[in-house]
Amino acid sequence: MNYKELGLKVGLEIHFQLDVDRKLFCNCSSAMKEKEPIAIVKRKLHPVASELGEIDVAAQFEYLRNRTFFYEVFRNESCLVELDEEPPHDTNEEALKVALQIAKLFNCKIPEYIFVMRKTVIDGSNTSGFQRTMIVGFDGYFEFKGRKIPITQVCLEEDAAAIDKEENGNVYYKLNRLGIPLVEIDTGVIESLEPKEIEEIAYQIFLIASSTRKIRREIGAIRQDVNVSIEGGKRVEIKGVQRLSLISKVIEKEVERQLELIRKGEKVKKETRAAKEDGSTEFMRPLPGAERMYPETDIKPIKTEDVLKYLEIPEPLNKRIERYEKEYKLSKSLIESLLKTDYFFLFEDLARAFPNVESSVIASVLSSTLKEIERKEKIEIKLSEQKLFEFFEALSKGFIFKEAAYDILKKMNEGKSIEEVVKELGLIPLTKEEIIKIIEETKKEVADKKKLIGIVISKVRGRANISEVIEMIEELS
Amino acid sequence: MDAYEILKEKGISVGDKIVIDSIEGILMPRSEFVESDVIVVKMSNGYNIGIKFKEGMKIELIEKKEQQASEKTTKEEFDLRKPIVSILACGGTIASRIEYRTGAVFPSFSPEELIEAFPEIKELANIKARKLFDLFSEDMQPEHWKIIAQEIAKEIESGVDGIVLMHGTDTMHYTSAALSFMLQDLPVPVVLVGAQRSSDRGSSDNRINLVSAVLFASKGDIAEVVVCMHENLNDDYCAIHRGTKVRKMHTSRRDAFKSINISPLARVNYHERKIEYLTSNFRKRDKNRKLKLDTNINPNVGIFYFHPGAKPELLREMAKLYEGIVIVATGLGHVGVNPRNDKLAKSFLPVIKELIDKNIPIVFAPQTIFGRLNMNVYSTGRILEKAGVIGNLCDWTIETALVKLMFVLGHTKDINGIRKMMLTNMAGEISERIEI
C-alpha cells in the first residue's frame, strides 16, 4: 500500500507510568501489589452541563449507558483522595521533576507556571468524573532520521482506575491504579511516513523518556493512543494500544477499515475506538469535544522556576546507546537485548566498577544468562543491584569464573551469599598446582591434544580461567 | 506591575483570544496564587499556563469574547396533581456552578437553571425556587437564621407541601438547630441540603442529595427541620437527620453528616425514589397544623473550650462580650475545680459562680460529642452542678447547646427561667434514651 498517496496522517499519544513510590496527589503507595480489595464503594456519575447548557457528546454517551460503578479499595494503595472523598494534596514533587526532565529531553518550552486542570472523563475510570492533568512542556521536537518530529505537549497526569470486570451494566474498577503518576507525550501530525517508521518513532520516544530511569516497563504501564486519518476519511482515535510493536499493525488495519468504508460509499465517523490484542479495533464512543478542560481549583499553581533551578537533565538514552557502542564496544544486538532488560543503566555502573571484566561478559550475563535461568528454571529473577555487584566483584577478583555464572546466579537468586554458593557448588578456584596435576593425569589417558583440551576443560569448568588452562596445556605438551 | 491592568489598557479583557509571546490562547482570570505580573492563558489544547509579563512583550488581541447567550426564560408549567416544593437557596457548594471557559465558580441557581441541571426534581414536584442569600457557610450569622425562618414561614403559609433549603455544609447544623427552635408546630417538612463535592464534577453528591431532599419535602411524613445528606460513601441512600441532633463530622467525606446519640429518622432510596422510616418518634405531616414562628434570638452567646492549661481568666474576659456561655466540658461534664488543692491545678469554680451570680448562664456540652452529660458521678460534676451549671443529663451537641442558649436568651434574662427553658426538650435536642 502506498501510504504517502493515501495521505496517511498519524498522531501518537504515548503514556508512561512513572516509577515513583507515591501517587501524584496523595501519599498512597503506587506499587499495585495488593490483590484483594478491602472494601467496595458504589457510585453513579452524571454529566454536567457547561455554562452554555451544552453537555459534552462523549460524556452524554457514557451517561446514557446508565452504568453503575463499583470501586475496589486496596489497603495502602487507595485512600479518601482516590475515592473523591478528600481534596487532592500537593503535586508529587518527584513525579513533577521526572516529567520536567522528559519535557526538557524533548526540547519543550516549559511554562513559567503550571496549572493543574480537570479533564472531564465520565466512563467511571476516575471517581471524580475528571482526570487531573497538567502541561509541563510544549512546542518540542526530537530528531528522527534527519527530520524533526514535533512533540506538541508533554503532560503529567493521574492514571485512571483499571476495569476489573463488567457485568450487566455494573462496572468494577480497581482503585489502586488511579492516581499513579503518568506522563503523556503527544506528537504533532506525522505525515508521509510508513506505519513501520511510525512504530520506530514511538520506540524512540520510549527510549528518550527512559533516560530518566523512572519509566515503568511492565505490561500495561506503557499505553499508546494512535490518531489515524487518510484522505477522504476522518480522524479516528484508537485508544489503549498495549504494546509498541502493535502500532504499525493498528495503523494498517485502521487505514484498511477507512478505505473499506470509503469504497462502500459510507461515511467515516470521527470516533474513539479501542485497540484489541490482534491490532484490530472496535467502537468505543464518539470523539470528545474540546470544552472538557477547566482548572483544578483545589491545587495551587506550580512555579517551575523553583523546580528547574535544581533539575538535572539526564543523558538521552539514544546518546547512551551510541556511547555503549563506542566506549564499551558492545554489538548492536547485545545492546538491543540489554535494552529489553531492567539492567540497561546498571550495565555501565558495573562496567565502570570492574574494568578488568570484559564489557561484553557483563552485558551478556545481564541480558542473556539471567533470561536463560528464568526460562529454563521457570523462576523469577529477583536479584538486587547489590547482589549483582557482589557477583561481578567476585568475577573481577578471580574468585569465580564466568563459565559458572548460570549455576552461581541461580543459587544466589535463592537469597544465598556468593560465599555460600561457591562452597555449596564446590566451585573453589583451583590452584596452579592442582590444574597441572589434572593435566598430567589426563595426559596419561588421552594422547590427542584436541581431545585432551576438551576433557581438561570439562574437568576444571567454573573453577579456573579457561584461556589460562589452554595455555598451560600448550606449555606442558 | 499589574499585568491585567496593562492588558486592560490595551483593550484586552478576560475571555478574549490573544497571542502572547507567540503563544495563542484565551485570557483567563487572574489566579490568586500567583504574582500580579503573571498572565494566565488557556492554550488551544485546553491547558492553562502562566506567563510572566515582561516589558516590551508582544501581546496581540485576536478576537474579543463572544457575548453570552441570553438567559433562558422558559417557564415550567404547574402540574396540579403533584405536590409543590419551595427551594430556597442560601449559597454553598450545592448552589454553585462553574463557567468552564474560565473556570470561575458562579453561585446561585434560578428555578429554571435548577430544573435544567436536575430534571428529575420536576417529576417529583412543582418547583418554586428563589435565592435568599449567596453566602459561604462561615458567613452565616444568627440574624440570617431569622430571615430564613421568616421566608420559610411565608412559603408554608402560601400552602407548599415542603421546603428545601440549599445551604453550605460547614454551618448547616447550626442553621438546622436554629430553625428547629424558631419554626414551631411545623405542618410540613423543612429539609436542609448541601453538597460536599463541587457541582462541576460528574461525581458531585449534589444531585442525589437534592433529588432526595425534594422527594422528602414533597412526600416525607416528618414535619420537622431535617438535614438530608449522603448516608455513606455509596451513591444509594440519603439519611434524614433531625435538625437538632445532626453534626458535620468530617471535613470532606460526602457522608460527613451524622446523627448524634439518635438514629437518623429516615433514609431515602435515591434509585427507587422511596422513603424508609427508621423510627416512629417524630411529628407527622399535617397541612392543617398552624405554624408558629418565633424568631426571638439573642446572638450574644460564646463557646469556651476547656482543656488542660485553660485559663479561668479567659472565661471571665469572654463574659464581657457575651450574655451566655457554653463550656465544652470533658467527659461526663467536667472542668477543673481543684477539689484536692493541687499546687499546679486551676479552679474554674470561682469564675463560674461569679458569672452565674451576674445572671450569665453557663451551659455545658460534651467534648466527646457522643453520650450524655452526667454530673452526679464525680465530685467535680456534683460541685459544678451545685454551682448552677446547666446541662446535667443532657445529650445535646455543642452547636445545638449554643443555638438553644441564644434562643432561650431571646426569651428571658432570668437565670431560673433560662435554666427551666434550657432543660425542657423543645425540638428533640435532648433524647430521653440513647439506644445501643
| Domains recognised in chain B with CATH numbers | 3-63 (2.30.30.520), 84-293 (3.40.50.1170), 301-423 (3.40.50.40)
- Among candidate residues B42, B146, B161, B169, the one labeled active-site is B169
Q: Is B36 on the interface with A (CB under 8 A)?
A: no
Q: Is B73 a catalytic residue?
A: no
Question: What are A6's three cell numbers?
Answer: 493515501
Chain B neighbors of A117, CB-CB under 8 A: 46-48
Angstrom distance (rounded) from CA B426 to CA B432: 12
Q: Is the pLDDT of residue B99 over 80?
A: no
| Torsion angle of C-alpha atoms A286, A290, A295, A296, degrees rounded to 10 | 10
All 3 cell numbers of residue A298? 483545589
Nearest alpha carbon to residue B312 among B362, B268, B256, B278: B362
Neighbours of A382 (CB within 10 A): 8
A70 near B CB under 8 A: no
Q: How many residues does chain A have?
A: 477
Collapse the DSSP code of A17 into the 3-class scheme (helix H, G, I; strand E, B; otherwise coil) and give the result.
strand
**What ipTM did this prediction achieve?**
0.88
Give the minimum alpha-carbon distance from A226 to chain B in angstroms, rounded to a whole number: 17
Average pLDDT over residues B209-214: 97
Distance, in Å, from the CA atom of A393 to the CA atom of A404, rounded to the nearest integer, reads: 14
State residue A442's pLDDT score. Answer: 84
Q: Is A190 on the interface with B (CB under 8 A)?
A: no
* Nearest to B137, CA basis, from B161, B114, B168, B164: B168
B410: CB partners within 8 A, 6+ apart: B296, B297, B298
Q: Give the residue, B369 or A294, on which the prediction is more confident.
A: B369
- How far apart CA B336 and CA B103 sit, in angstroms, is 52
Tell if the CB–CB gap between B204 and A46 is shorter than 8 Å. Answer: yes
| Residue A438 confidence (pLDDT) | 86
Where do the structural domains in chain A lie, given as residue ranges? 3-22+89-158+181-308, 317-425, 432-476
Identify from B44, B68, B100, B271 which residue to disrupt to test chain A contact, counting A C-beta atoms within 10 A and taking the largest count: B100
With a cut of 60, say whether residue B73 has pLDDT above it: no
pLDDT tens for each residue of B291-342 = 999 999 999 999 999 999 999 999 999 999 999 999 999 999 999 999 999 9
Contact B49 A113 (CB under 8 A): yes
d(CA A300, CA A87): 12
Q: Do A301 and B34 touch (CB under 8 A)?
A: yes
Active-site residue flag, B251:
no
Q: CB pairs under 8 A, 24+ apart, for B299-305?
A: B299/B141, B299/B142, B299/B143, B299/B406, B300/B324, B300/B406, B300/B409, B301/B325, B301/B326, B301/B402, B301/B405, B301/B406, B301/B409, B302/B326, B303/B327, B303/B328, B303/B398, B303/B402, B304/B328, B305/B367
Rounded mean pLDDT, B190-216:
93
Question: Which cell numbers in the block locate residue B399?
Answer: 452547636
Q: Cell numbers 504533532 label which residue?
A: A188
Res A429: pLDDT = 80
| Residue at A221: amino acid letter | A
**Cα B52 to Cα B35: distance, rounded to the nearest angstrom:** 9
Q: A49 and B116 in contact by Cβ < 8 A? A: yes
What DSSP designation does A122 have?
-
To the query of whether residue B169 is one of the catalytic residues in this protein, the response is: yes
Q: How far apart (Å, rounded) are the C-alpha atoms in residues A247 and A202?
A: 8
Q: Are strands A9-17 and A190-191 parallel, antiparallel or unpaired?
A: antiparallel
Question: Which residues are CB-contacts of A344 (< 8 A; sequence separation ≥ 6)?
Answer: A210, A338
* Mean pLDDT, range B351-369, rounded to an integer: 97
pLDDT tens-digit profile, chain A (477 residues): 889 899 999 999 999 999 999 999 999 999 999 999 999 999 988 876 544 445 666 666 666 667 899 999 999 999 999 999 999 999 999 999 999 999 999 999 999 999 999 988 878 999 999 999 999 999 999 999 889 999 999 999 999 999 999 988 899 999 999 999 999 999 999 998 999 999 999 999 998 999 999 999 877 788 899 999 999 888 999 998 988 889 999 999 999 999 999 999 888 888 899 998 888 898 887 776 655 788 898 999 999 998 999 999 999 888 899 999 999 999 999 998 998 888 899 999 999 999 999 999 999 999 999 999 989 988 888 888 888 999 999 888 888 888 888 988 998 988 888 888 888 887 778 888 888 888 888 888 877 878 888 888 888 877 888 888 888 888 776
pLDDT at B1: 75
CB proximity list for B423: less than 8 A, separation 6 or greater:
B390, B394, B430
Instruction: List the 38-67 stretch of A: residues with Cβ below 8 A of B.
Output: 41-53, 59
Is the separation of the CB atoms in B256 and B250 below 8 Å?
yes
Statement: residue B111 has pLDDT above 70: no
| Contact yes or no for A39/A73 (Cβ under 8 A) | yes
Rounded to whole angstroms, what are the CA distances from A13 to A163, A187, B262?
A: 21, 7, 55
Look at residue B208 and tell me whether its pLDDT is greater than 80: yes
CA B391 to CA B326: how far, in whole Å? 10
Specify the pLDDT at position B226: 98
| pTM, to two decimals | 0.86
The residues pairing with B267 across neighbouring beta strands, listed in sequence order, are B239, B276
Task: Give the pLDDT score at A56.
Answer: 62
Beta-strand relationship, A39-43 and B274-277: unpaired
For residues B201 and B392, the model is more confident at B392
Q: Which member of B200, B202, B207 has the closest CB to residue A294?
A: B200
B 252-311 near A (Cβ less than 8 A): 252-254
